Amino acid sequence: MALRSISRRFGSRVLSYRSSSVASLHSHATSFGFQQVKEEEKSKLVGNVFTNVASSYDIMNDVMSGGLHRLWKERLVGKLSPFAGMKHLDVAGGTGDVAFRIFDAVNSVKRRALRKVDEDSLEETQIYVCDINPNMLNVGKQRAAERGLGDNKALVWVEGDAEALSFDDNSMDGYTIAFGIRNVTHIEKALAEAYRVLKRGGRFLCLELSHVDIPVFKDVYDLYSFKVIPNLGELIAGDRESYQYLVESVRRFPPQEKFATMIADAGFEKVEYENLVGGVVAIHSAIKL
Amino acid sequence: MFRTAARRLLGAGFTTSRLLRLPKPRPTTIIPYSYCTSSTESPIGNQSVNPNQSDTAREEGHRRDESSRKPRAEFEEEQARVLAASLRHVPRLGWTEEAMIAGSRDVGVSPSIVGSFSRKEAALVEYFMDDCLQLLIDRVDSGLDLQNLIPSERVSKLVSIRLEMQIPYMSKWPQALSIQAHPVNVPTSFKQRAMLVDEIWHTVGDGASDLDWYVKRTVLGGVYSTTEIYMLTDDSPAEYRDTWAFLDDRVKDAFDLKKSIQEAKYFAQDIGAGVGKSFQGLMNGVMQTMSTRGGRSSAF
């Protein structure tokens, strides 16, 4: 298709720019969008992307998804079914979208009214927001302050790597990763870490852009991804390359079934996924037993 | 047979989205209707032959089940354990997520697992219904004496045994009923009640076929539901004595209903015959008068 050749040409132009790193490729190469890069490079490159986009991340999300990303995150939190006293970890949750929703769900008036006098509810809810990029965390902390949650002990902002979490084994009731796992260099490691930190009965939920198979819609989606989004990135965030990386990384991410298999391989049970908007986004869920 | 069907119901909620890590789907060929056809081979009026035949049929069914039933996935076992533990909290907390969270803590599992139940409170209620059906079957299998009772009394006894299982939860049972009545939950609750009613009729020694089979189950379904609702507001002394009296009356009515329908049928036939005869007589009379009149007029 004409689109693909255009994107390939663009990709190859960027490839020649980074030829120095590509020239010394050895067997441990990974993908950075449609490019092949060394593994050590990937996290740095991703870091650069998110440093660049941090300030306009939320606006771009709204524009790119037409506001739909809010509904997707609502659905994610709904599926999680948060409860008072839970210890939750939101990985790659930089600007805090998911974390705020979980906080609201736990502290909503209805829940407080229903809370019976129970010894266990005296346990404090703790929501940890972990992100590898300090810029994203700063934006998140700012947003928390705007909401009046700046000093709230329930929200804890931690800088960390999804592949090497600093949390104890069996310490978390829930683990979510929204639009973050495709940026991880070694997905299996991130899944293994998720398995490690979750308690028995804890749930793993992953919200991620995924693969569309519906015939006509697929082409519309591809057109939108490769034509419209990088241009929007340039217009609004002033950064075409980062958003080009974004749409390419979505294509490189394993499809729903494959990812579900990877989750199962990490040891999780009851692995399921739900497609939203025909596969544009998928929520994978699993339990650790 | 009903045991696997009951277990299958527990699994029904898990197949809405695609699943991995699950053994191959169990063969779903076992349905209530097939059970009935095996018992209709015995002559309808012969009560003594029926129970034996149905017992062997059930044994066969069980042997078939053992070989075809695959081990349950670990998470299903865990979820069942959580639900069983949650039931202990229901009288205090109701059929709610709180009860399930408390149950999960009892089992030593993170309360997050409650989020993985497809319809949360409904899952708890459905588990209870399946559990009660299982207890009823076990009670019947372990030698419940029904030989000396007439069919209507057998039905009464079985229904009362089943309803007694709900007594510990009676304060919260209206909530369970309203959960079962939610449109989302209706298919499963209807199926469970249908299975219950079918099981009762089968134990009583039902030899019906075709339309009668449906009529019997529908009528018993109605009797069961009305008694269940009556029980909610019954605070008679000595353990729901009024409810059992109500039940006996309804069951008698149901059995009488069958006779009444027969009588109504004969009555209608008689009337039809009578009306037909009198209509014929009328027509003859009319023809005669017309012909005589005609004859007279032609004489002009």
List chain A domain ranges: 31-288
Q: Does B192 touch chain A (CB under 8 A)?
A: no
Classify residue A149 by its DSSP letter. Answer: -
- Tokens encoding B99: 């009860």
Nearest chain B residue to A265 by CA distance is B21
Task: Determine phi and psi for A12, rounding to 5 degrees.
Answer: -70, -30
Tell me if B25 is assigned to some domain.
no
Q: Does B108 touch chain A (CB under 8 A)?
A: yes
- Arithmetic mean of pLDDT, B116-138: 92
Nearest CA-CA partner of A172 in A85, A240, A257 = A85
Tell me if B50 is assigned to some domain.
no
Whether residue B134 is found in the same domain as residue B263: yes
Q: Of B90, B117, B144, which residue is a domain's last?
A: B117
pLDDT confidence tier of residue A272, bands split at 50, 70 and 90: very high
Which of A87-96, B204-213, B245-254 bottoms out in mean pLDDT, i.e. has the lowest?
A: B204-213
Whether residue B259 is found in the same domain as residue B184: yes
Q: Does A169 touch chain B (CB under 8 A)?
A: no
Tell me if B28 is assigned to some domain.
no
Nearest CA-CA partner of A180 in A267, A106, A75, A98 = A98
Per-residue pLDDT of A174-229, as tens digits, reads 999 999 998 888 999 999 999 999 999 999 999 999 999 999 999 999 999 999 99
B129 has pLDDT over 50:
yes
pLDDT at B148: 78
**ipTM higher than the 0.90 cut:** no
Which residue has better confidence, B42 or A197?
Answer: A197
B33 has pLDDT over 80:
no
- Arithmetic mean of pLDDT, A149-154: 83
Q: Does A146 touch chain B (CB under 8 A)?
A: no
B135 has pLDDT over 90:
yes
CATH number belonging to domain A31-288:
3.40.50.150
Mean pLDDT score across all residues of chain B: 76
Whether residue B196 is found in the same domain as residue B212: yes
Whether residue B85 is found in the same domain as residue B183: no
Using CA atoms, how far apart are residues A217 and A219, in angstroms rounded to an integer?
A: 5
Which of A84-88, B64-68, B133-137 bottoms out in mean pLDDT, i.e. has the lowest?
A: B64-68
Which of B15-19, B142-146, B221-225, B281-285 bottoms out in mean pLDDT, i.e. has the lowest?
A: B15-19
Whether residue B113 is found in the same domain as residue B160: no
- Arithmetic mean of pLDDT, B50-55: 42
Whether residue B225 is found in the same domain as residue B177: yes
B61 has pLDDT over 90:
no
Using CA atoms, how far apart are residues A242 and A234, in angstroms rounded to an integer?
A: 9
Tell me if B293 is assigned to some domain.
no
Which residue has better confidence, B81 or A53?
Answer: B81
Tell me if B52 is assigned to some domain.
no
Q: Which positions in chain B touch A173 (Cβ < 8 Å)?
A: 110-112
pLDDT confidence tier of residue B87, bands split at 50, 70 and 90: very high
pLDDT at A206: 95
pLDDT at A14: 42
Q: Which positions in chain B touch A268 (Cβ < 8 Å)?
A: 21
Which of B24-28, B150-154, B228-232 bottoms out in mean pLDDT, i.e. has the lowest?
A: B24-28
pLDDT at B134: 94
- Does the beta-carbon distance from A201 to B111 stay under 8 Å? yes
Tell me if B208 is assigned to some domain.
yes
Strands A281-287 and A269-276: antiparallel
A7 has pLDDT over 70:
no
Whether residue B105 is found in the same domain as residue B233: no
Which residue range(s) make up the domain with B83? 72-117
Total-model pTM: 0.72
Distance from CA of A124 to the nearest CA of B (A): 14
Whether residue B124 is found in the same domain as residue B161: yes
Q: Of B87, B117, B147, which residue is a domain's last?
A: B117
Nearest chain A residue to B22 by CA distance is A270
User: What is the domain count for chain B?
Assistant: 2
Nearest CA-CA partner of A112 in A87, A85, A90 = A85
Q: Is A131 annotated as a binding residue?
A: yes
Q: Which DSSP helix (H) or strand (E) runs through A204?
A: strand A198-209
- Tokens encoding A233: 């990135």
Whether residue B125 is found in the same domain as residue B104: no
CA distances from B60 to A75, A157, B7 (A): 47, 62, 19
Whether residue B94 is found in the same domain as residue B137: no
Whether residue B126 is found in the same domain as residue B268: yes
Whether residue B132 is found in the same domain as residue B275: yes
Tell me if B182 is assigned to some domain.
yes
Q: Which positions in chain B touch A194 (Cβ < 8 Å)?
A: none
